[in-house]
Amino acid sequence: GVRLMGQSLSHRSLDIRREACAVLLELSVPEDGKRQVCDQQLLPVLVSLLQDEDVELQTNAAGVIMNVVILTSGKHLILELKVLPILLELLSQDEEEERRRKALILYCLQTLASLAEAPDGRSLLLEQLPLLERRSQDQDQDIQRTAQTTIRVVTWTP
């Protein structure tokens, strides 16, 4: 499952990459799937897909990453891959088709909240509060709530 889908992430056909990433999104929900995504070293490929021009592919890649960073090992791998700037860039883009990007934005915010649970992630994200605060004023209530939760996690002090 995970291995086969991982191989398909690099296929030259957008449809195949899109479908493989959608299946990986489902496979990465259980803990075993999250571990397999890490063990198969799929995170660098998924990070590159965040920068694809296809919103559906970006969204599915962000969803897999969101699932994986629930694991402590996933958090550390993602922080090592320097994904924060990419997620923040995706959040800062003002798109006219915001509704098409809603899931992508929510996945990015939830991933950032998980990364803020790691001290390295929190310190990097404290510098990005203005962007998060802008998203907490979003017209969409789901995005507002998720951004507010992310801000609470980032600003929480032990």
Whole-model pTM: value is 0.93
Query: pLDDT (tens digit, 0 to 9) for every residue of the chain, 158 residues total?
Result: 999 999 999 999 999 999 999 999 999 999 999 999 999 999 999 999 999 999 999 999 999 999 999 999 999 999 999 999 999 999 988 766 677 899 999 999 999 999 999 999 999 999 999 999 999 999 999 999 999 999 999 999 87
What string of DSSP letters covers 10-77? T-S-HHHHHHHHHHHHHHTSSHHHHHHHHHTT-HHHHHHHTTSS-HHHHHHHHHHHHHHTTSHHHHHH
CA 31, CA 51: separation in Å to the nearest integer?
Answer: 26
Domain spans of the chain, in order of start:
2-155
The superfamily (CATH) of domain 2-155 is Leucine-rich Repeat Variant (1.25.10.10)
